[in-house]
Chains A and B, each alone.
Chain A
Amino acid sequence: MLIKLTGGKVYDPANGIDGKQQDIYIQDGRIVNKPGLDVQIDQEYNLKGKVVMSGAIDMHTHIGGGKGNIARTLLPEDHRADPVARTAITRSGCGHAMPSTFVTGYRYAEMGYTAGFEPAVLPVNARQAHMEMGDIPILDKGGYVMLGSDDYLLRLLTAKKDQKAVNDYVAWTLNAAKAIGVKVVNAGGINAFKFNQRKLDLDEKNAHYEVTPRQILQTLATAVKELGIPHPLHVHGCNLGVPGNVETTLDTIQGIGGLPMHLTHIQFHSYGTEGDFKFSSGAARIAEAVNKHKNITIDVGQVLFGQTVTASGDNMRQHANHKLANPNKWVCMDIECDAGCGVVPFKYRDQNFVNALQWAIGLETFLLVDDPWRIFLTTDHPNGAPFTSYPHLIRLLMDKSFRNEMLATLHPEAQKMTTLASINREYTLNEIAIMTRAGAAKLIGLEDRGGLGAGNWGDITVYTENADRQLMFEKPDYVFKNGELVVKDGKVVKVTWGTTHIVKPDWDTAIEKDLQKYFDRYLTMKLGNFKISDDEITEDGRGSLTAHPLRNGV
């Protein structure tokens, strides 16, 4: 099957193409060079005047894992208010802030997204996360495995084991949990919470293990680098949401000593303590530091107004915020003695000073960081807003007058505390394509996604140019997944199943002896059951695994 996409205006930053009119050919799922004149074209789409990009990639979205189901159980009203009927090809579902798996896949695809990555896969719950993501149609998916508050790692650090022991454990866990990256959530803080610590600064010791978050971050970032894992250590920093945490974040950037590190939902970590309300924007300082330190990448975690639910492994900070729950109900729990979880429903309101300033801080960050290859478009779905608000966010970034009109309606004190109105930058289509496609694929280490060059998989989104960028990005004309047309005019026309992206670093098998003892003595699961086999992902006939190469692999 040879498909020709004719005459579209192509934005393919992976190959340095910025709005050039050119044809794209797809053969058997992959993009190919222009075939010879004698080759017959099986299907042609006339894309004259349309905008062509590769399929978008959400590099941080909570779409799998136990906390999603806790949020669903906690918020039946979220589901009652947003029912989705079945069609001949799609299944029914529901949910605005935390939609059901099937609806998640359809809605992402209908916005032109072809991949999403779950950033908080607890190793002990990884099976459930993969099963849940296995029920998300169309999208490719993958997970970052959560380490840093697990007792085994903290024991290694307390016992002053060498870096190699940690590397082996990290590599072993990545393989066992079938992940593509490593995530740290409030390094050591989830564990410290269980020893009755209610906050943990970067250099504060865990009361039991006497390990500091800084040590954990350095050790894990080193492990990720030495193992050759393409995705840098994915860090949800200390002191999320605490006024003044901008200092912690800057210190974290400094302290990692040049190692690659991704700071996620940085908006929640960019708060100062100035002004009458002792809450101010630290976005400018963060952006300056990010611009200076080329080893740092960030995603924003933009807040957008409305009802949502925050779901995080950071039970320390979620517990601290539970009084803000709206509606007033919340869950904080331990997970299998190995991690934690907090779910707090939230309603961001534009007439609330803090919420309005959070909104502005996120946008300031977007606009003040120069290099779109190192900043990514997220709302930390569903924590800042549901992923369905991305087109609105893109319009805010691309349309200064729209942005300033919205700003003018916010809490007046918040308006005084932000420099947003004076920032003239408007994102270009090419920059949006970098943030949501080429950059994301590069950051995660996806070999053959995120670009439109020959050899890439045919994940392609086609939009109609529209000055209202929200309308443009809400409803793509066509979305192709692996060369198959899955969405037409913003509606799913075919349901396919994506692959699960992983990495497979090597490890010394000798560590399983010690792990075996540890599992038998302390954990709720046997070591043999902890490891997920390939069959579990693929045996339903829909799922598949795609392993990506390591960088200067060990």
Chain B
Amino acid sequence: MSALTFTLKNRPDQRVDMSPLVCQKLAGLTPAEIGALELQSGKRKVRVDALFNIAGADAQNMVIKNSFGKLDFIGKALHGGSIAVEGDAGAYLGLGMAGGTIHVSGNAGIFAACEMKEGMITIAGDVEDFLGAALPGNKMGMKGGTVLIKGNAGERVGDHMRRGTILIEGDAGDYCGSRMTAGTIAVMGQTGKYLGYAMRRGTLLLWRAPHLSARFNDCGAHTLAFLPILFASFRQLNSRFADPALAFNRVRRFGGDLSEMGRGEVLVKM
């Protein structure tokens, strides 16, 4: 069975809520039934077949072709199956996702992997602010799963993050790891200002020296036995994180944010 493929016919002016098009909601539907579903676009509802050409039948393997940055809520609450996005994804990619995989060949918008619970999201390009964060007003961000960004990430990566892993091959913006409760964020490139702002627990793993605020204490140099185990867990990824040459076990450790609980750690490669 070939992958269920949605090819965007032309780009609508208004943003599109793609949340009805996830694997579990489309299983067992005929192409005609899928085409008759309605998507919210701006203040109007648009039929799926008015926006997309539909081909293939395997709802567990979805492909969205010609995607662009106004297709929001792709893979919302996905719990199993895979979605391949060819092009860019809009805001709230994989919101509340509970399983399965999403791969984006281009860039993704704000709040990608927001409140994600399980599964794997890979973004080949860049991602905007609030990666793996909580919805505004909520207290818990990403709670599990893995997010891999091959490009750069915006500000507020992992805001209110609770559990899970965020891997960024490029740079991360300001406030990386802000208000983190727990979890792991690894950044190979540069990090911005206010790193770990108000973080309570959790780990920030860095390849380059950050600008740290006075609210982080230098805890000295350490050889940590858990790091080889952590890097081994990345071995299967199609990523620079899988490269043994980039792994390390010797770090300088900083503890903070001391204006909060102060049990978070920033580990910097030595």
- The docked-state distance in angstroms from the alpha carbon of A329 to that of B140 is 12
B139:A327 contact, CB within 8 angstroms: yes
B139:A76 contact, CB within 8 angstroms: no
B135 is an interface residue with CB less than 8 A from chain A: yes
A74 is an interface residue with CB less than 8 A from chain B: yes
B139:A75 contact, CB within 8 angstroms: no
Contact with A along B218-253 (1 / 0, CB 8 A): 000000000000000000000000000000000000
A329:B139 contact, CB within 8 angstroms: yes
Contact with B along A317-333 (1 / 0, CB 8 A): 00000000001110000
- The docked-state distance in angstroms from the alpha carbon of A248 to that of B181 is 42
Chain B residues near A329: list those with CB within 8 A.
139
Question: Which of B135, B136, B138 gathers most chain A CB within 10 Å?
Answer: B138
- The docked-state distance in angstroms from the alpha carbon of A326 to that of B138 is 11
Contact with A along B132-173 (1 / 0, CB 8 A): 000111110000000000000000000000000000000000
- The docked-state distance in angstroms from the alpha carbon of A494 to that of B157 is 48
Contact with B along A128-154 (1 / 0, CB 8 A): 000000000000000000000000000
A328:B135 contact, CB within 8 angstroms: no
A161 is an interface residue with CB less than 8 A from chain B: no
Q: Nearest chain A CB to B79's CB is how many angstroms away?
A: 19
- The docked-state distance in angstroms from the alpha carbon of A77 to that of B114 is 14
- The docked-state distance in angstroms from the alpha carbon of A90 to that of B39 is 23
Q: Which residue of B lies closest to A75 (CB)?
A: B137
A551 is an interface residue with CB less than 8 A from chain B: no
- The docked-state distance in angstroms from the alpha carbon of A329 to that of B139 is 8
What count of chain A residues pass the 8 Å CB interface test? 8
Chain B residues near A77: list those with CB within 8 A.
135, 137-138
- The docked-state distance in angstroms from the alpha carbon of A74 to that of B135 is 13
Chain B residues near A74: list those with CB within 8 A.
137
- The docked-state distance in angstroms from the alpha carbon of A458 to that of B136 is 45
Contact with B along A69-91 (1 / 0, CB 8 A): 00000111100100000000000
Chain A residues near B136: list those with CB within 8 A.
76
A328:B139 contact, CB within 8 angstroms: yes
Q: Nearest chain B CB to A85's CB is how many angstroms away?
A: 10
Q: Nearest chain B CB to A267's CB is how many angstroms away?
A: 29
Q: Which residue of B lies closest to A328 (CB)?
A: B139
Chain A residues near B135: list those with CB within 8 A.
76-77, 80
**Contact residues, A48-79 vs B (CB, 8 A):** 74-77
**Contact residues, A3-45 vs B (CB, 8 A):** none
Chain A residues near B139: list those with CB within 8 A.
327-329
Q: Nearest chain A CB to B180's CB is how many angstroms away?
A: 16
Chain B residues near A76: list those with CB within 8 A.
135-138
- The docked-state distance in angstroms from the alpha carbon of A77 to that of B135 is 8
- The docked-state distance in angstroms from the alpha carbon of A80 to that of B137 is 11
Q: Which residue of A lies closest to B43 (CB)?
A: A86
- The docked-state distance in angstroms from the alpha carbon of A76 to that of B137 is 6
- The docked-state distance in angstroms from the alpha carbon of A80 to that of B135 is 10
- The docked-state distance in angstroms from the alpha carbon of A76 to that of B138 is 8
Q: Nearest chain B CB to A398's CB is how many angstroms away?
A: 38
**Contact residues, A319-369 vs B (CB, 8 A):** 327-329
- The docked-state distance in angstroms from the alpha carbon of A291 to that of B139 is 46
- The docked-state distance in angstroms from the alpha carbon of A328 to that of B138 is 10
Q: Which residue of B lies closest to A80 (CB)?
A: B135
Question: Which of B135, B137, B138 gathers most chain A CB within 10 Å?
Answer: B137
Chain B residues near A80: list those with CB within 8 A.
135
Q: Which residue of A lies closest to B136 (CB)?
A: A76
- The docked-state distance in angstroms from the alpha carbon of A327 to that of B138 is 8
- The docked-state distance in angstroms from the alpha carbon of A75 to that of B137 is 7
- The docked-state distance in angstroms from the alpha carbon of A2 to that of B139 is 56
Q: Nearest chain A CB to B114's CB is how many angstroms away?
A: 12
Q: Which residue of A lies closest to B134 (CB)?
A: A77
- The docked-state distance in angstroms from the alpha carbon of A80 to that of B136 is 10
Chain A residues near B137: list those with CB within 8 A.
74-77
Chain A residues near B138: list those with CB within 8 A.
76-77, 327
- The docked-state distance in angstroms from the alpha carbon of A74 to that of B137 is 7
- The docked-state distance in angstroms from the alpha carbon of A23 to that of B139 is 56
Q: Nearest chain B CB to A34's CB is how many angstroms away?
A: 50
- The docked-state distance in angstroms from the alpha carbon of A291 to that of B136 is 49
**Contact residues, B84-141 vs A (CB, 8 A):** 135-139
Q: Nearest chain B CB to A355's CB is how many angstroms away?
A: 21
Q: Nearest chain B CB to A95's CB is how many angstroms away?
A: 13
- The docked-state distance in angstroms from the alpha carbon of A77 to that of B96 is 13
Q: Nearest chain B CB to A260's CB is how many angstroms away?
A: 43
- The docked-state distance in angstroms from the alpha carbon of A76 to that of B134 is 12
Q: Nearest chain A CB to B107's CB is how many angstroms away?
A: 25
Q: Nearest chain B CB to A164's CB is how many angstroms away?
A: 49
Chain B residues near A327: list those with CB within 8 A.
138-139
Q: Nearest chain B CB to A426's CB is how many angstroms away?
A: 42
Q: Which residue of B lies closest to A86 (CB)?
A: B43
- The docked-state distance in angstroms from the alpha carbon of A80 to that of B139 is 14
Q: List 8 A-B contacts (CB under 8 A).
A: A74-B137, A76-B136, A76-B138, A77-B137, A327-B138, A327-B139, A328-B139, A329-B139
Knowing that A77-B135, A77-B138 touch, tell me 12 more A-B residue pairs with CB under 8 angstroms: A74-B137, A75-B137, A76-B135, A76-B136, A76-B137, A76-B138, A77-B137, A80-B135, A327-B138, A327-B139, A328-B139, A329-B139
- B-contacting residues of A (Cβ < 8 Å)? 74-77, 80, 327-329
The list of the 8 closest CB pairs from A to B, nearest first, reads A76-B137, A327-B139, A77-B138, A76-B136, A328-B139, A77-B137, A329-B139, A75-B137
